[in-house]
Amino acid sequence: MHVVTLIKGDGIGPAIMDEAVKVIDASGAKIHWEEAYAGLSAFEKFGTPLPDATMESIDKTRLAFKGPLTTVVGTGFRSINVALRQKYELYANVRPAKSWAGIKTRFTDVDIVIVRENTEGLYAGLEHYLTPKKDIAESLAVVTRAGSERVIEYAFKYARENKRKKVTVCHKANILKYTQGLFLDVAREAAARYPDIQFDEKIIDAACMHMVMNPNQFDVIVCTNMFGDILSDLTAGLVGGLGLIPGANIGADAALFEAVHGSAPDIAGKNLANPTAVIMAGAMMLSHLGELEAAERVINAVEAVVNEGIFVTPDLNPNSKAGTIEMGNAIVKAMQSS
Ligand SMILES: NC(=O)c1ccc[n+]([C@@H]2O[C@H](COP(=O)([O-])OP(=O)(O)OC[C@H]3O[C@@H](n4cnc5c(N)ncnc54)[C@H](O)[C@@H]3O)[C@@H](O)[C@H]2O)c1
């Protein structure tokens, strides 16, 4: 029995997480879910967006399955996602984007894995105003050799272990010569230790252009925090949208699995949210736990339902009458009949 801290989150979070739990429970893996709270809903309920009980649970389980959390734009508390990634040193954020046979997009054979540095860079949280009038503000980007080495090493190791051919570092070392330059230097050093993996480097703005024109040239990408955040939404767009992309936040002794997308307040409470991303994040968690057969069952069932395109949410098929719950039920059914 594996014990997992379950955080359903805000907005569409509870609806998609209920479907994900239903699917994972039907996969054959034995999971004991320890429910905890975070985000705006925790703030409204307990007066804090990250209650002590939630951290006590993760301290113990070292493993969390989390729905999206709302972070109000511009004001309010700091992102709890960023806080959790920093507290548990979840330094590698792995975001795979792969074309689906049943989803029509511009490209049919996209298969990109973004490995995003997850604890440093411009999201280190070092921001302040420089004047009492608050008319000048500054943010500090922090890039350390140790932080860069561990995530870049992870990307190369991931490439080797998953039979990938190439790692591309996306950077802006032409302008940000110290922070981005350090990250690029570390990537070049790592590349020399992995002669079996091709290495490429692209300046981030050109990388975006290349990615929308010819995504097939990318395989594994490694980059600093904010570039990875933005690029992974771009890869989501290439394969059919944010409802499809899972994410694993990996540390040395803890891990957190979630969808890449946010709490989607525009569709919350309407049974419209696509549960695929978070269910695929659940499959990544099962693999991480060594539950490989259960993970494969989940992936096969999700692929069958998504590619058939009938019991899917309207973001995948505008003519579909199915919603979040019906899609979850169809995935469970596909698993049981296989
Ligand atoms: N990991 C996280 O918890 C996380 C990640 C990103 C954003 N956020 C937070 O989420 C909130 C909303 O952010 P946003 O609107 O910029 O991004 P978002 O990802 O919530 O939504 C962007 C667009 O994608 C759609 N979308 C997202 N997920 C979907 C799904 N599963 N099915 C169908 N459509 C989906 C939404 O309806 C919206 O139109 C913000 O408070 C933000 O801080 C949280």
CA-69 nearest atom, ligand 1? 3
Q: Which residues are 97's β-sheet partners? A: 112
Measured from the CB, is residue 203 less than 6 Å from ligand 1? Answer: no
Determine how many CB atoms are found less than 10 A away from the CB of residue 167: 27
Measured from the CB, is residue 68 less than 6 Å from ligand 1? Answer: yes
User: Alpha-carbon distance 179 to 172, whole Å?
Assistant: 9
User: Alpha-carbon distance 104 to 131, whole Å?
Assistant: 51
Over residues 4-58, the pLDDT tens digits come to: 999 999 999 999 999 999 999 999 999 999 999 999 999 999 999 999 999 999 9
Measured from the CB, is residue 70 less than 6 Å from ligand 1? Answer: yes
User: Alpha-carbon distance 288 to 130, whole Å?
Assistant: 44
Domains and CATH numbers, the chain: 1-95+245-338 (3.40.718.10), 106-239 (3.40.718.10)
- With cut-offs at 50, 70 and 90, classify the pLDDT of residue 77: confident
Cα(55) to ligand 1 centroid in Å equals 24
Measured from the CB, is residue 274 less than 6 Å from ligand 1? Answer: yes
**Contact at 8 Å (CB) between 248 and 255?**
yes
Instruction: State the average pLDDT for the chain.
Output: 95
Identify the CA nearest to 223 among candidates 209, 208, 204, 240. Answer: 204
CA-68 nearest atom, ligand 1? 3
User: Residue 33 class from Cβ within 10 Å (0-12 exposed, 13-18 middle, 19+ buried)?
Assistant: middle
Active site residues: 123, 172, 205, 229
Over residues 290-317, the pLDDT tens digits come to: 999 999 999 999 999 999 999 999 999 9
Query: Atom 18 in ligand 1: which residue has the minimum CA distance?
Result: 262
Q: How high is the pLDDT of residue 71? A: 86
Q: How high is the pLDDT of residue 78? A: 79
Q: How high is the pLDDT of residue 72? A: 76
Q: 107 pLDDT exceeds 90?
A: yes
Measured from the CB, is residue 82 less than 6 Å from ligand 1? Answer: no
Q: How high is the pLDDT of residue 73? A: 76
Over residues 188-228, the pLDDT tens digits come to: 999 999 999 999 999 999 999 999 999 999 999 999 999 99
179 phi, psi to nearest 5 deg: -65, -55
Q: 144 pLDDT exceeds 90?
A: yes
Over range 151-179, report the average pLDDT.
97
